[in-house]
Structure 1
Amino acid sequence: MLKKYFLISLSIFVLSCKDSPGVEDVQKIIDTSIEVAGGELYKTSNISFRFRDIDYVLEHQKGTRALMRMQYTDSGTVTDIKKGNSFERMLNEERVSVTDSMATVYGNSVNSVHYFALLPYGLNDPAV
């Protein structure tokens, strides 16, 4: 009886030992998924979407990307714009002063929603 359990355990162990996919295989999967999802179009397309009743827009402007978030409140339209490392907030198309610490928080928030909405693009970025 003990021999039977030993053989079953040994069989399970041997069968579960297989090579895991290599780094090249993982990179190929990422590259293929990016290509299938849009490939080079990610670099030039303007994209807009709505998430949790907030509008988001990605615009390519003169070689840079502008990530925008528009929220509609009783006070008017609040537009957050992130370009590279800069951030600005507009209320009804007039610039609003934002402290540096809050600009970082708002900018990261805008960036993260865009990042997840555009997956798998971005998986090859150095920060990932």
Structure 2
Amino acid sequence: MRIFLASLVLLFISCNTSKKSQTAQEIVDAAMLASGSEKVAKATISFKFRDIQYKAIRNQGRFLLERSFKENKDSITDQLSNEGFTRLLNNQAIQLHDTLATAYSGSVNSVHYFSVLPFGLNDMAVRKKRLADQVVFGKDYYTIQIRFSEEGGGEDFDDVYIYWINKETSLIDYLAYSFHVNGGGVRFREATNPRTIKGVRFVDYNNYKKENALTDLENLAKAFEKGELQKLSEINLEAISVQITP
């Protein structure tokens, strides 16, 4: 009996030590595995978001990200690929000022980026750091900070993200980020309505802000727990379709 109890104690200590010693990279890898991110890398994914049609074609590093909508009687398609950004007006490419092209490109990329998280967190420009673990609503979380290098990090390379990854499920339940466009600020998102389609996990988000934009990102989950955040919007993906390339 004593030997059995001793073995249980050693097993508990071993598991606990193993979790404590996990690196940010290992935690993110586990989150990607749990979410089916390896399938995203070779998939065609389409969905609707706020009455705009989005489509992403990815094939092991090659990508084409689209959004399509009507403006008056015109059909507009924005395309972002490895080659850059293009706007099609009634299926004809048009020239845009660099400022507009950058803004449209960032908007397209942002929606597609959030739609398939944690896919993308192993990109070359991503810099990961494990912060102190947290407990939110009684659940244990790894807290991972994401920054980006200037080279390859895009126009918003100086934005900072925090991900709360559930220790039991390896899934992202919350995220927060700081941004600098339009005067800057911070946002906190709560993952809702999880569903898995052809092995890929998708979620919607409740989007929150805090009046004091100087609040440290890593403290936002606790602020949310205390009811200190203001809900701004819901981010809901509709009519999701997934086709995996063999």
With structure 1 as the length reference, what TM-score do the two structures score? 0.73
Within 1, Cα distance between the matches of 2:49 and 2:103? 18
- Residue 126 of structure 1 aligns with an amino acid whose one-letter code is M
Structure 1 gap ranges (5+)? 1-18
Structure 1 residue 67 displacement after superposition: 0.6
Structure 1 residue 62 displacement after superposition: 9.2
Contact 2:42 2:59 (C-alpha < 8 Å) held by counterparts: no
Number of residue-to-residue matches in the alignment: 109
Structure 1 residue 61 displacement after superposition: 6.5
1:1-128 superposed matches below 5 A:
21-22=20-21, 24=23, 26-60=24-58, 64-84=62-82, 86-128=84-126
In structure 2, the CA distance between the partners of 1:34 and 1:74, relative to structure 1 (3 Å rule), is same
Within 1, Cα distance between the matches of 2:37 and 2:117? 11
CA RMSD of aligned residues (A): 2.4
Structure 2 gap ranges (5+)? 1-16, 127-246
Within 2, Cα distance between the matches of 1:122 and 1:61? 13
Within 1, Cα distance between the matches of 2:123 and 2:60? 21
Larger strand fraction of residues? 2
Q: Which runs of 4+ in 1 moved over 3 A?
A: 19-23, 60-63
- Residue 91 of structure 1 aligns with an amino acid whose one-letter code is L
Which structure has the higher relative contact order (CA within 8 Å, separation 6+)?
2
C-alpha distance after superposition, 1:100-122 (max 9, x if no partner) = 22111111111111111110111
Which structure's CA Rg is the greater one? 1
In structure 2, the CA distance between the partners of 1:44 and 1:28, relative to structure 1 (3 Å rule), is same
Within 2, Cα distance between the matches of 1:75 and 1:61? 33
Alignment-derived partner of residue 6 in structure 1: none
C-alpha distance after superposition, 1:25-47 (max 9, x if no partner) = x3222111211211321111000
Structure 1 residue 75 displacement after superposition: 2.2
C-alpha distance after superposition, 1:5-36 (max 9, x if no partner) = xxxxxxxxxxxxxx994561x32221112112
